[in-house]
Structure 1
Amino acid sequence: MPHRFFAPDLTHDAPTVVLPPGESLHLARVLRLREGDAVEVFDGRGALHAARVERVAPGGSVLAVQGARAAAPEPPAPIVIVQALLKGDAMDAVVRDATVLGATAILPVVSARTNVPARAAVAAHERWQRVAVAAAKQCGRAVLPTIAAPCELADAVGTALTNVPTRLWLAEPAVSGDHGGEVPSPPQATALAIGPEGGWTNEEVDAARAAGWRPWTMMPVTLRAEHVALAALSVIRYAWDAALRRRMT
């Protein structure tokens, strides 16, 4: 399988595209590709093309763009991850897993029990973008999720996502009263709110209910905070795919 590169300036009618510095450096210094080598290039918005290396330069390698190729299929409906900020590598893991499993957007939020300084979260935003690019390259996806700047939980819960028809608040069984929870079918735009290491406060749960979020529990065990997005997205993607298969038979 050819190496894949991210080029946000890729257009379907341009014969060539210049890679960003980070991608160019990876091509030239890490992979040590040469002129004429076959690669793939994607724009982060759904387009994936075959390409060949035309010029190698650590600051701006040039690819000759060739025919379009099929990327990994996107989910049948948008999925937004509202993730309370996690410490260090845990947040990187959420971004990576959410990208691979088809999240459309990732909205980091500051909750009552968030243990991440605001300045550190802002500084990490650029790293999360790089993590998403690497994850998309690895899994074959041609769409990058939008990663918003961190905001207060109340803003995300009360106003930012009111137009999303299905809003699921990931919670302990004692909160949701449900050890499984049904995934909405047929697929429709869905937002998943996932708490920090210490979980949600009672006040946050009450505010979410009042704003129209439905408490939802996948299983009667407690997962680590950085594993919840992976599990929830897997459950939803499987349920949606199963529903679509049933409709086709």
Structure 2
Amino acid sequence: MGDLEGDLLVDPGVARQIHRAEPAAAEGVDNLVFAERLTGDQHLGAWSIARISGRSGARGADQDEPTRENRFYNLPMRPRFFAPSLDGRAASVDLPPDESRHLRQVVRLGVGDEVRVFDGRGLEFLGRVDRLGREAVSVALVEPSTPAPESTVAVTLAPAFLKGRTFDAVVRDATALGVVAVQPLVAEKQAAHRPSSRPGSRRSRGADRWRRIAVAAAKQCGRAIVPEVREPLSVGEFADAAQSDVKLFLAEPGAMPAHTLRARDLLDRPRPSAVSLAVGPEGGWTPDELVRFDARGFQAVTLGGRVLRAETAPVVALAALACLWDEA
């Protein structure tokens, strides 16, 4: 191998081991990679960009010493746990049973390990595991922590219900993209798999599962706010209840109403404080649903001339809105 010069992404596990080569060992290697040891106050999960410089063969006295220049990117920080009972005035908080099991059995943390806890409503704290109980884990609160920034535009996503587990991915991605609420819709073309709203029904159990998915997604992406996941509504019920400044529905190619906007056309309008966005089912909207949207002040918007899958369209639409309005 020849000379090495440049930046290198170093996994923190490797960075802990590659610290400083011993002179005797250095004589037997062709290339040296130097990375600073990660310290306790640098977040777990960070990647180090290590400046590397090495020469082939043994290093002689007349050769330049390798230089090291590290920068750290705080990607997922210390392990985060959902603590809905978190009170910033208290000294500690008990994690709910499912989060306690995750801490003990999956992440395998012990007393004294640092974590972050958040309440799902915007409050987040740095803490340390204080007690590992059989039913609950107690976390001592150290200091307030800054979560991932929230968008200045509150987006409510109303995607049509999708059969199977496909809707799970929509909830997960919508949470990561910053929505404040997910309102599942039951469209007219979904009669074949329209779920029941009775307590204990598949529809009710599905909403509970989607809420758990939203919590897990918020933990992963760094948000301290968990979006509200509502019980499914019909398209008409949603259109009647929507109160946002801007109300949009996605129009599919080939069935676009007159005056359909392109996403970038929204830049010419004042920045809204709240947006409702409806995304249709695999079979598209019915004429009656389009009339209902129009009567309630919804504006058709298109993402272009390609037909997207029903689970892909919400993600693309949210990403487009984030590019327009998100300052986070």
Higher relative contact order (CA 8 A, sep 6+): 1
User: Could you say which residue in structure 2 is the equivalent of 1:214?
Assistant: 299
Shift of 1:117: 2.5
| Code of the aligned partner of 1:49 | F
Shift of 1:59: 2.2
User: Could you say which residue in structure 1 is the equivalent of 2:139?
Assistant: 63
User: Could you say which residue in structure 1 is the equivalent of 2:285?
Assistant: 200
In structure 2, how many angstroms separate the alpha carbons of the residues matched to 1:22 and 1:58?
12
**Greater Cα shift, 192-201 or 170-179:** 170-179
Answering whether residue 100 of structure 2 is matched by residue 45 of structure 1, we say no
Shift of 1:179: 6.8
Shift of 1:72: 0.7
Aligned partner (choices 181, 190, 195) of residue 117 of structure 1 = 195
In structure 1, how many angstroms separate the alpha carbons of the residues matched to 2:257 and 2:273?
21
Matches within 5 A, 1:141-160: 141-158=223-240, 160=241
Say which SS state the counterpart of residue 93 (structure 1) adopts.
helix
In structure 2, how many angstroms separate the alpha carbons of the residues matched to 1:215 and 1:33?
50
Aligned partner (choices 249, 253, 257) of residue 169 of structure 1 = 249
Aligned partner (choices 14, 21, 38) of residue 97 of structure 2 = 21
Contact 2:153 / 2:325 at 8 angstroms: preserved in 1? no
CA deviations on 1:169-191 (whole Å, 9 max, x unpaired) are 11113314547232344243100
Contact 2:124 / 2:144 at 8 angstroms: preserved in 1? yes
Contact 1:86 / 1:116 at 8 angstroms: preserved in 2? no
User: Could you say which residue in structure 1 is the equivalent of 2:221?
Assistant: 139
Say which SS state the counterpart of residue 85 (structure 2) adopts.
coil
Pair 1:98–1:58, CA change in 2 (3 A): farther
User: Could you say which residue in structure 2 is the equivalent of 1:105?
Assistant: 181
Say which SS state the counterpart of residue 174 (structure 2) adopts.
helix
Say which SS state the counterpart of residue 55 (structure 1) adopts.
strand
Q: Which runs of 4+ in 1 moved over 6 A?
A: none
User: Could you say which residue in structure 1 is the equivalent of 2:111?
Assistant: 35
In structure 1, how many angstroms separate the alpha carbons of the residues matched to 2:257 and 2:170?
23
In structure 1, how many angstroms separate the alpha carbons of the residues matched to 2:276 and 2:284?
18
Shift of 1:70: 1.1
CA deviations on 1:28-69 (whole Å, 9 max, x unpaired) are 111111000000000100111101001113521110011111
In structure 2, how many angstroms separate the alpha carbons of the residues matched to 1:92 and 1:199?
20
| Code of the aligned partner of 2:256 | V
User: Could you say which residue in structure 2 is the equivalent of 1:225?
Assistant: 310
Contact 2:261 / 2:300 at 8 angstroms: preserved in 1? no
Shift of 1:89: 1.8
CA RMSD, Structure 1 to Structure 2 (Å)? 1.6
In structure 2, how many angstroms separate the alpha carbons of the residues matched to 1:58 and 1:105?
34
**Paired residues, number:** 241
Pair 1:179–1:189, CA change in 2 (3 A): closer
Say which SS state the counterpart of residue 189 (structure 2) adopts.
coil
What TM-score do you get using the length of structure 1 for normalisation? 0.92
Say which SS state the counterpart of residue 79 (structure 1) adopts.
strand
Say which SS state the counterpart of residue 220 (structure 2) adopts.
helix
Pair 1:68–1:209, CA change in 2 (3 A): same
| Code of the aligned partner of 1:164 | S
Shift of 1:100: 0.5
In structure 2, how many angstroms separate the alpha carbons of the residues matched to 1:94 and 1:81?
10
Structure with the largest fraction of helix: 1
